[in-house]
C-alpha cells in the first residue's frame, strides 16, 4: 500500500516534470491542471489501496483526500434519473432545465429564474402530447395524470420565482422533478440487455429496488439500480432478504471517508452459497453511457477508457460500492461500502474510483444519520421496501 510519505515523493516528481514543460509564468489553467494531477495521483494510490476484502483500514491524512472543485452532477436522485435506460429527449430536456436552476437559486437571480421557468412551462405545453404518446400504451393513463401534476408543479414554480420565495421554489422543484422521475420510469418498457450466460447462477435485479438500512444511529434509505448493475444490485438485495447483513458492524478507513460492512462473522470472507457450499462471487460490473450492456471484470484502465464516466459514478456522498480484493476483480461476495466524500471533492472526470469499483446505487435519504456513522456502529437490518419483485434468483 502506498502511504502519504511515498505519495509525496511521487508528487514532487510530477511537479518537477510539469515545471519542465511549462513557461516561467504559469496560468491559472496550468495550476489547476497540476493540482488535479497531483490529487488524482494521491486518490489513486491511497484510496484504491484501501477498499478491498479483508483489508486493514489504516488512517490516512485528510490532506491526501483533497480534490479541486468540479461540476459533476451530485444529487443522487438526478443521477438515478439520468441512469434510466430511456431516450425521451423532450422530457429529459425539461428535467435538465429544472435541475440547472440551482446556480440561479443560490445567487438569488430571481428574474432569470422566472424567465427560465416560464420557458420550461411553455416547452411542456408544446411537448406534453409527444411525451404521453411515447409511453407504453398501458401506462398512458397514468402518464397523463403525472403530466397534469407536472403542469401544476411548474405553475407553482413560476409563482415562487415571481414572489422570490426560495423555500417554495425548492419544494415545488423537488415535486416537479419527482414527477418527471416517475414519468421516466414509466418509459422503461423492458430490461435493456442480456446478462452473459456465464453468470446464470447469480441472482439479478431486473429493475430498481428501494431499501431501508436500519443502523443503531437511525435509518438510511437507498435505491439500488439493476438497470445498470443487475448482478451487483441483485446480490445486495438477495443478501438483504436472507438477513445476511443483520448485526454486522461497520468498518471504516478513518479520515478517508469510506464506511464498509458485509464481512461475516467467522473465518469466511463472503457469502457461502448453501447449495454449492462455496463462496458466491460477483464480477466487477460497470456500465458506461452509449454501451448496450455493462463491462464485466475489466477496469477502465484495462479498456483504455481513461476519461470515461460510468452511468453510475461515485459522484455523491452515499454512493453504494461493491468491494473486491486488490488481487482480483471478481472476488467480491458480500462486502459493500458507502462512499462518503463530499461532492466538492469528487469532480467530474477526476474520480479514480470510477472504473475500478462498481457503484450500484445511492443513499437518497437519511444523510444526517450517514454523517454520524463510524466504525463503532452496526447494521441492525436491511429491509426491501419496494422492488423485491424485480429480483430473480438466477438466469
Higher pLDDT: 319 or 47? It is: 319
User: Would you place residue 138 in the very low, low, confident or very high pLDDT band (cuts 50, 70, 90)?
Assistant: very high
pLDDT at residue 70, rounded to an integer: 39
The answer to whether residues 268 and 386 belong to one domain is yes
Selection from 169, 188, 153 nearest residue 81 by Cα: 188
Provide the domain count of the chain.
Answer: 2
Residue 2 included in any domain: no
In this prediction, residues 171-199 reach a mean pLDDT of 97
The answer to whether residues 182 and 225 belong to one domain is no
Check whether 335 has a pLDDT greater than 80: yes
The answer to whether residues 335 and 239 belong to one domain is yes
- For the segment 6-17, what is each residue's pLDDT rounded down to a tens digit? 333 344 444 444
The answer to whether residues 275 and 158 belong to one domain is no
The answer to whether residues 178 and 216 belong to one domain is no
The residue out of 151, 186, 221 marking a domain boundary is 186
The answer to whether residues 232 and 303 belong to one domain is yes
Determine which helix (DSSP H) or strand (DSSP E) holds 259, and give its type and residue range. Answer: strand 258-261
Q: 319 Cβ partners below 8 Å, 6+ apart? A: 76, 312, 313, 338, 339, 359, 361, 362, 363
CA–CA dist 24, 17 (Å, integer): 14
Percent of the chain with pLDDT over 70: 78
The answer to whether residues 382 and 344 belong to one domain is yes
Residue 296 included in any domain: yes
User: Would you place residue 351 in the very low, low, confident or very high pLDDT band (cuts 50, 70, 90)?
Assistant: low
The answer to whether residues 211 and 177 belong to one domain is no
pLDDT at residue 30, rounded to an integer: 44
Check whether 275 has a pLDDT greater than 60: yes
User: Would you place residue 340 in the very low, low, confident or very high pLDDT band (cuts 50, 70, 90)?
Assistant: confident
User: Would you place residue 345 in the very low, low, confident or very high pLDDT band (cuts 50, 70, 90)?
Assistant: low
pLDDT at residue 341, rounded to an integer: 77
Selection from 177, 182, 180 nearest residue 101 by Cα: 177
Check whether 5 has a pLDDT greater than 60: no
Give this prediction's pTM.
0.82
Residue 55 included in any domain: no
Residue 294 included in any domain: yes
Range of the domain at 279: 197-392
The residue out of 158, 186, 214 marking a domain boundary is 186
The answer to whether residues 282 and 248 belong to one domain is yes
- For the segment 368-378, what is each residue's pLDDT rounded down to a tens digit? 999 999 999 99
The residue out of 154, 186, 218 marking a domain boundary is 186
Q: Which three cell numbers stand for residue 295?
A: 463491462
- For the segment 61-102, what is each residue's pLDDT rounded down to a tens digit? 332 333 333 345 789 999 999 999 999 999 999 999 999 999
pLDDT at residue 247, rounded to an integer: 97
The answer to whether residues 139 and 280 belong to one domain is no
pLDDT at residue 119, rounded to an integer: 97
CA–CA dist 224, 229 (Å, integer): 8
In this prediction, residues 197-205 reach a mean pLDDT of 98
CA–CA dist 234, 220 (Å, integer): 19
pLDDT at residue 1, rounded to an integer: 30
Check whether 317 has a pLDDT greater than 80: yes
Residue 77 included in any domain: no
Residue 231 included in any domain: yes
Percent of the chain with pLDDT over 90: 73
Residue 247 included in any domain: yes
Q: Estimate to the nearest angstrom the gap between the alpha carbon of 50 and the chain centroid.
A: 19
CATH code assigned at 102: 1.20.120.290
Residue 7 included in any domain: no
Lowest mean pLDDT across 67-71, 108-112, 261-265: 67-71
The answer to whether residues 241 and 156 belong to one domain is no
Q: Residue 378 phi/psi, 5° resolution?
A: -150, 160
Determine which helix (DSSP H) or strand (DSSP E) holds 253, and give its type and residue range. Answer: strand 251-253
- For the segment 289-302, what is each residue's pLDDT rounded down to a tens digit? 999 999 999 999 99
CA–CA dist 10, 21 (Å, integer): 17
Check whether 39 has a pLDDT greater than 70: no
Q: 229 Cβ partners below 8 Å, 6+ apart? A: 285, 286, 287, 294, 312, 358, 359, 360, 361
Please identify which residue in the block is written with the cell numbers 491524512: 61
pLDDT at residue 54, rounded to an integer: 45
CATH code assigned at 280: 2.40.100.10
Q: Which three cell numbers stand for residue 74?
A: 451530485
Q: 131 Cβ partners below 8 Å, 6+ apart? A: 88, 90, 91, 143, 147, 183
As a whole number, the mean pLDDT across the chain is: 84
Amino acid at each position: 500500500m502506498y502511504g502519504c510519505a511515498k505519495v509525496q515523493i511521487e508528487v514532487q516528481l510530477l511537479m518537477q516534470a510539469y515545471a519542465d514543460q511549462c513557461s516561467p509564468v504559469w496560468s491559472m489553467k496550468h495550476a489547476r491542471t497540476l493540482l488535479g494531477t497531483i490529487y488524482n495521483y494521491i486518490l489513486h494510490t491511497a484510496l484504491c489501496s484501501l477498499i478491498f476484502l479483508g483489508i486493514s483500514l489504516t488512517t490516512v491524512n485528510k490532506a491526501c483526500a483533497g480534490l479541486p472543485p468540479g461540476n459533476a452532477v451530485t444529487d443522487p436522485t438526478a443521477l438515478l434519473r439520468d441512469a434510466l435506460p430511456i431516450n425521451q429527449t423532450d422530457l429529459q430536456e425539461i428535467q435538465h432545465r429544472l435541475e440547472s436552476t440551482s446556480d440561479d437559486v443560490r445567487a438569488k437571480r430571481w428574474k432569470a429564474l422566472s424567465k427560465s421557468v416560464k420557458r420550461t412551462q411553455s416547452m411542456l405545453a408544446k411537448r406534453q402530447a409527444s411525451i404521453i404518446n411515447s409511453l407504453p400504451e398501458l401506462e398512458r393513463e397514468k402518464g397523463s395524470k403525472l403530466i397534469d401534476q407536472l403542469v401544476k408543479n411548474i405553475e407553482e414554480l413560476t409563482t415562487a420565482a415571481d414572489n422570490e420565495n426560495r423555500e417554495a421554489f425548492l419544494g415545488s422543484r423537488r415535486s416537479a422533478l419527482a414527477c418527471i422521475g416517475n414519468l421516466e420510469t414509466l418509459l422503461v418498457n423492458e430490461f435493456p440487455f442480456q446478462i452473459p450466460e456465464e453468470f446464470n447462477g447469480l441472482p439479478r435485479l431486473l429493475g430498481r429496488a428501494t431499501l431501508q438500512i436500519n443502523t443503531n444511529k437511525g435509518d438510511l434509505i437507498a435505491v439500488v439500480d439493476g438497470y445498470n448493475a443487475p448482478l451487483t444490485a441483485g446480490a445486495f438485495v438477495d443478501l438483504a432478504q436472507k438477513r445476511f447483513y443483520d448485526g454486522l458492524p461497520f468498518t471504516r478507513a478513518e479520515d478517508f471517508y469510506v464506511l464498509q460492512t458485509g464481512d461475516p462473522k467467522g473465518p469466511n470472507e463472503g457469502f457461502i452459497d448453501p447449495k454449492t457450499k462455496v463462496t458466491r462471487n460477483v464480477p466487477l460490473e460497470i456500465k458506461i453511457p452509449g454501451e448496450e450492456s455493462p463491462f464485466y471484470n475489466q477496469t477502465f484502465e484495462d479498456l483504455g477508457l481513461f476519461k470515461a464516466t460510468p452511468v453510475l459514478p461515485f459522484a455523491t456522498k452515499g454512493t453504494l460500492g461493491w468491494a473486491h480484493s486488490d488481487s482480483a476483480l471478481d472476488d467480491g461476495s458480500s462486502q459493500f461500502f458507502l462512499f462518503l466524500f463530499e461532492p466538492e471533492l469528487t469532480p467530474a472526470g477526476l474520480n479514480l474510483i470510477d472504473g475500478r469499483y462498481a457503484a450500484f446505487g445511492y443513499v437518497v435519504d437519511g444523510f444526517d444519520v450517514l454523517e454520524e456513522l463510524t466504525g463503532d456502529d452496526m447494521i441492525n437490518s436491511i429491509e426491501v421496501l419496494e422492488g423485491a419483485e424485480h429480483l430473480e434468483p438466477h438466469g
